[in-house]
Amino acid sequence: MAVQRCDGVYADIEDEATTEPEIVIDQYGTQPTQIRDAKNAIVIRHDSPFKIQHCTFFNNYKDIVFEKYKKRITNGLQQNDENTIAGNTFTSNGGTLLNPYSTQHKEVAIELNDVENIRIGKVGGTANLFDQSKLGINLINSGAEIWNNEFDVIFTPPSSPS
Q: Could you read off the pLDDT of 100-157 as tens digits, one per residue?
A: 777 888 899 999 999 988 899 988 889 999 999 999 999 999 999 899 999 998 886 5
| DSSP per position, the chain | -PPBPB--EEEEGGG-SSS---EEE--BTTBPEEEESBSEEEEEETT--EEEESEEEES-SEEEEEEEEEEE--GGG--TTTTEEES-EEE--SS--SBTSTT----EEEEEEEEEEEEES-TTSPPEEEEEESEEEEEES--EEE-SEEEEEE---TTS--
What predicted TM-score, i.e. pTM, was given to this entire model? 0.85
Place 43 in a pLDDT band, splitting at 50, 70 and 90.
Answer: very high
